[in-house]
Structure 1
Amino acid sequence: MDFHGYAGKILHVDLTKKKIKEEQLSEELIRGYIGNLGINTKLAYDLIKPGIDPLSPENYIILGTGPMGGTTAPACSRSNANYKSPLTNLFGSANAGDSIALMLKFAGYDHLVISGKAEEPVYLKINNEEVEVLDAGHLWGKDVFETTDRLWAELGDYWINCIGQAGENLIRFANSVSNKHSTYGRTGIGAVMGSKNLKAIAARGSRGITVADQRAFFKIIEEILGKIKANPVTQMWRDFGFVVAFPAYGATGLFELFNYGEGFADVATVFSKEQYKSRVVKRPYACPGCPVGCKQVVEIKDGKYAGLNFKVAALGSQVGYHNLAGVENWDEVVKCVEIENKYGLDSNSLASVAGFAIELYKRGVINKGDTEGSELNWGSETTRLLIEKIVRREGIGDVLAEGVRAAALKFGPEAAPYAGHVKGLELAIGLRGRLSTENFGELTNPRGGHLERSPSLTFIPRKPTAFPPFCTGIGVSQDRIEKICDGPEGFNVSRLTRWVEDYNTVLASMGMCHRTPVIQHFNLQTITDLYRATTGIEISPAELRQSGERIWNLQRAFNQREGADRKDDMPPCRALNEPIRIGDKEFPGIGEERASRLLDEYYEERGWNIKNGRLTREKLEELGLTEVAVDLGC
């Protein structure tokens, strides 16, 4: 077939055999799974055998881009990496904006599939069709910044994705970093790369991407760009990024302090946007093709970190993560992030395991005998101490390097109530204040406790009249809208989450960013029109939405094949049972009965087995996944 939007090829690299081959991207894959996350999911399900050790040569790393990546479509440069996670032992997924995958597409590849294990450290060099596996002995032991600088000096103008010492030492929440700033952040891709002795990927491409209908394409783009530029929210996000949402994060309980033990209602005061602007941020920067630019070049103006300067994505989110360990102020958060990025650590998981260890120490569950004589206190000093121990797997760091779930088992039953994770992935935001699709989606996400495919209008309270048109815009069936738009705030959170997840899975498979200043100007019809103009493929909004549902269900099937079921969707013990104070209000834990009812409604909306949360044959056949039903014994 003629390819527009797509590069048209999958690159396979077997590190054990040093074998390289190309595969044509098939029409069946494109029509069934769109691209990026979707096609990655299909490849992962087919290639990764159930029951394998995620750190064995049998695991695969799959990188993908979307059909609009490399075009001028706004904010469509995001990519996904998928594998079996060494942290959760389930579907592993990480995504990045300004990542190496876009350069892979310019080199001619929509997807890169890496298997096997090299005998010695190597890096993968891709220059259009020239693909080489090269020695990386001189890079092993170096951090992310040193590795990237060294490869730039050796190769010139390549985009670099690499691991630091965390990945080399198989820290189960190690990440990989593109060009020193864009991270594939969650579920441990860095450890999988390290297990394969793969230090880095270097890519350069010079091939362009064509679109099928330029007139229609540019008409849609001009309309969207006009809306983005005219909206005052755009400049707010450019100036402050996620910090604009701090008042809402604090008031609704999404940000929590001290290992999910307290609410952080005054986060907008302690971490003020005025200090952010005057003290921390030098200028914004943007992912390729993004008209907003909500990421930051940070530069500390004075104090003990004066002159500290680097690029960082979503610094506002980093405040939420590092609050879990009690990190005190903007300067200390920035310093922690710099260290984590150099070593190649997922900041969210790192801060969570640090907060977990500190709380156990404060409660007497562990003592100085467990910490090599160190006293653990809330704040940046202990957090930095634990970072060093974790990266080197020294003492207590060797336990924490396995993640919160495994550490809780090691420390004994008294530790379990304080482990904040879902499916083994540490939570990103709180669950006990106000439930929205964002935080409820942490329970149902196939990769575990994160929210990247559940953002929606529910993030802040709105008038109930806002939700029926929103539901129509994301493709909710008309016969379901009344049931979904039911509740005191105008929505049923568990039922709406199902449709939000499917819609956001379409976005992820397109490579589209879901941040507010961009995505509020799209809906399913606009995305369908843009996809048609880009690719020339005739598809309806309903078919596109069903592709999102198919991808989501296939990820669920991957996890079900590994033994996951309803129990793995339950909130962690603290969120379930403990009340939390947010400002002057106290909110109860979710409770077993309420959590069970919410999951019942969610499974019913999805067409899954309510009793155990497993996929049904009827649903899988409806989605054209009959072979998966057979595989699962449905």
Structure 2
Amino acid sequence: MMVQSRYLDINLNDLLITTRTVQEEMYNQYLGGIGFNARWLFDLIPPGIDALGPENVLIISAGSLVGSNFPTASRTEASAKSPLSGRLGTSNSGMFFGYRLKASGYDGIILRGKAPHPVYILVENDRVEIKEASHLWGLDTFQVMDQIEEEYPGAQVALIGTAGENQVRYASLQNGRSDAWGRTGMGAVMGSKLLKAIVVKTTGRRAVIHDGATIKAINREASGAIKSSPFYGPFKKYGTMNASPVYSRFSALAAHNFTRGNLPEWKTEFDKKKVDELLVKHMACQACFIACGHLVEIKDGKYQGLKVKDMEITPIVTFGAQCGLNLEASIKASEICQRLGMDMVSTGSSVAMAIELYTEGLISVNDVGYQLSWGDEDAVFNLMEDIAQQKGFGKVLALGTREAGRIIGHPSYAMQVKGVEIPMIDPRGRWSTWSMGMLTNPRGGDHLRCRSIVENLRYNHHDAALMWEKFGMGEEEFSRLDMPDKLKQQTIDLTSDLVNIPLMSIWAEDLIQAYNSLGICIRPPVMNRVGPNLLTRAFNAMWGLEINESELMEAAERSFTLMKLFNIREGEKEEESRFPERFYQQVVSGQVLDPKQVERVLQAYYHGRGWDMQTGRPSREKLQQLGLECGEYLV
């Protein structure tokens, strides 16, 4: 018999709290996490609604393995219609919020409507309340955490800052002090509902597990597998900063709003070994022994004494390369984003666009209120504050680069795909499964929904057709990959030592969709070793179900396809799956993308998915195979 699953279903219009029981068939078909969010958002949100209106629905779902202590099972997915893209918005975060929510007896929260005044939600063991939050409204996230930690010691908190209150289109939903559901504007949606925070405090309770003995044995097996990955040691020491010298060497940095592939000082000032100089301690999420996060402290200079979770590749490249800040100022910029509650990628991209426009004379002091230049930290920080407060030129940038570029009259300066700003890696410098994923990702220009399970940063293979990247890991690693044998042989050619990018993209997207349904981290040591075999056995032991590996992967494909259908319903066109024009026209470090070759790779990807090769829309046959009765949106 399946373990009982419940969601809080809260109507903020009436301040009404109810619960929803999730049936076994829902788990079989959608697994949990992003799978549940995709299904319910498609069903609950009327087509064409205003993403910042009360009809939008925000769903926060802990992955279905959270609470099992399966390695890295800490992740929670927050989803709604995105105010940034107008498409399905979703973001993923770890730490301990999902674990505590599951321990309270709830697998997630569905939020509807808009409160009549600022409120926060308290989940304290069996008690759920909606409480007055006027005293918290207007405070930054660190100030709110100070008050909540004093009143509810040990609580886990999802909260917004002033950017969320002011409905900046890319406001983040912060996960305590150290993490966030960063992308696609979930903080703006929460702010539009006048919901400041969700506080979860549980004592002496754990999530219910169907077969504890079996799950413990599977967890030991998975831990050993992850530790055997060649990525484990480097990632445990330096985390995502392992990529910093590599992107520089390949001239693939997003420098100065993607106008340069590298910066002369990058190799020394932003090397991964800077982690050793600044590190206070490694930080780990629930059930994780990798501990890839870094609490760092600036030891001297202008920001001496600043302690914050940072030295991760995304904010470092965003503020260091894209905006041209030095290392210490880049760390300070990350802290400002955490306080204000703004997505670092979209914030940095918006600021970089403004600096480029200013340096080219397309905007002036009269527009901004002060001068802008690459590396001017005071100007960058002022602009970030203006964005969060929707003040002056910041009010334009708060709309996101796509809309801001349109209003300013220079849309080609917006580095975005599907309205979502693209991060850190320039595909002209390094073309791979990872960079191609920015085009196929349903949530828009982002790198975290598609990455090869054998991403090998030692190589930068230049294939004129853009169809292949280097494998370079040998037959033993090939044999250990948890993929169906036939697909593995089609995807990885040992003779040429190459990986087929379209096929790997499909496999990686569906695997990550499964991860985000189950609540597993996508860090390289995990993706390299944990596939459908371990995931299916853990899922069945956790819930008392009996699905097989192919059913698990089909469930992931089902919800991935449903996200695509949501976007089509909301008006997505095939031309949205295209990089900014400068990637096809402006040479960086001797490289430029051939639009015809990119289109051919996309067509191969669509063909592999069973989608129409010209439009990129799922075929009716594919929808029938997946049991999705949504064919009217293909017309």
Structure 1 residue 102: Cα displacement:
2.4
Q: 2-side partners of 1:404 and 1:38: how far apart?
A: 29
Q: 2-side partners of 1:225 and 1:479: how far apart?
A: 25
Please give the residue correspondences for 1:198-597 in structure 2 after superposition, counting only pairs within 5 Å: 198-206=195-203, 207-229=205-227, 233-264=231-262, 267-278=266-277, 280-312=278-310, 315-412=312-409, 415-428=410-423, 429-456=425-452, 457-460=454-457, 461=459, 462-463=470-471, 473=481, 475-476=483-484, 478=486, 481-482=489-490, 485=493, 490-581=498-589, 586-588=590-592, 590-597=593-600
Structure 1 residue 574: Cα displacement:
1.4
Q: 2-side partners of 1:362 and 1:223: how far apart?
A: 55
Structure 1 residue 2: Cα displacement:
3.2
Structure 1 residue 466: Cα displacement:
5.1
Q: 1-side partners of 2:487 and 2:543: how far apart?
A: 31
The verdict on how the C-alpha distance between 1:611 and 1:477 changes in structure 2, with shifts beyond 3 A counting, is: farther
TM-score (norm 2): 0.93
The verdict on how the C-alpha distance between 1:254 and 1:216 changes in structure 2, with shifts beyond 3 A counting, is: farther
Determine helix, strand or coil for the equivalent of 1:491: strand
Q: Is the 8 A contact 2:2 2:545 kept in 1?
A: no
Which shows bigger deviation, 314-323 or 462-471? 462-471
Structure 1 residue 441: Cα displacement:
0.3
Structure 1 residue 488: Cα displacement:
6.4
The verdict on how the C-alpha distance between 1:597 and 1:231 changes in structure 2, with shifts beyond 3 A counting, is: closer
Residue 296 of structure 1 aligns with an amino acid whose one-letter code is: H
Which shows bigger deviation, 512-521 or 175-184? 512-521
Please give the residue correspondences for 1:81-160 in structure 2 after superposition, counting only pairs within 5 Å: 81-160=78-157
Which shows bigger deviation, 476-485 or 418-427? 476-485
Structure 1 residue 204: Cα displacement:
1.8
Which residue among 609, 625, 631 is the counterpart of 1:622? 625
Q: Does 1:59 align with 2:56?
A: yes
Residue 263 of structure 1 aligns with an amino acid whose one-letter code is: G
Q: Is the 8 A contact 1:100 1:203 kept in 2?
A: yes
Q: Does 1:177 align with 2:174?
A: yes
Q: 2-side partners of 1:205 and 1:560: how far apart?
A: 40
Q: How many residues align?
A: 620
Structure 1 residue 251: Cα displacement:
3.0
Residue 594 of structure 1 aligns with an amino acid whose one-letter code is: Q
Q: Is the 8 A contact 1:435 1:493 kept in 2?
A: no
Structure 1 residue 473: Cα displacement:
3.8
Structure 1: which 4+ aligned runs deviate by more than 6 Å? none
Q: Which runs of 5+ in 1 are unaligned?
A: none
Q: 2-side partners of 1:347 and 1:527: how far apart?
A: 31
Structure 1 residue 215: Cα displacement:
3.4
Which shows bigger deviation, 358-367 or 457-466? 457-466
Q: 2-side partners of 1:190 and 1:405: how far apart?
A: 19
Structure 1 residue 438: Cα displacement:
0.8
Q: 1-side partners of 2:230 and 2:490: how far apart?
A: 32
Q: 1-side partners of 2:495 and 2:450: how far apart?
A: 19
Q: 1-side partners of 2:528 and 2:500: how far apart?
A: 21
Q: 2-side partners of 1:484 and 1:104: how far apart?
A: 40
Q: Is the 8 A contact 1:79 1:99 kept in 2?
A: no
Which residue among 17, 20, 25 is the counterpart of 1:20? 17
Residue 519 of structure 2 aligns with an amino acid whose one-letter code is: G
Identity %: 34
Determine helix, strand or coil for the equivalent of 1:140: coil
The verdict on how the C-alpha distance between 1:378 and 1:310 changes in structure 2, with shifts beyond 3 A counting, is: closer
Determine helix, strand or coil for the equivalent of 1:200: strand
Q: Which runs of 5+ in 2 are unaligned?
A: 460-469
The verdict on how the C-alpha distance between 1:491 and 1:277 changes in structure 2, with shifts beyond 3 A counting, is: same
| Alignment partner, residue 2 of structure 1 | 2
The verdict on how the C-alpha distance between 1:574 and 1:619 changes in structure 2, with shifts beyond 3 A counting, is: same
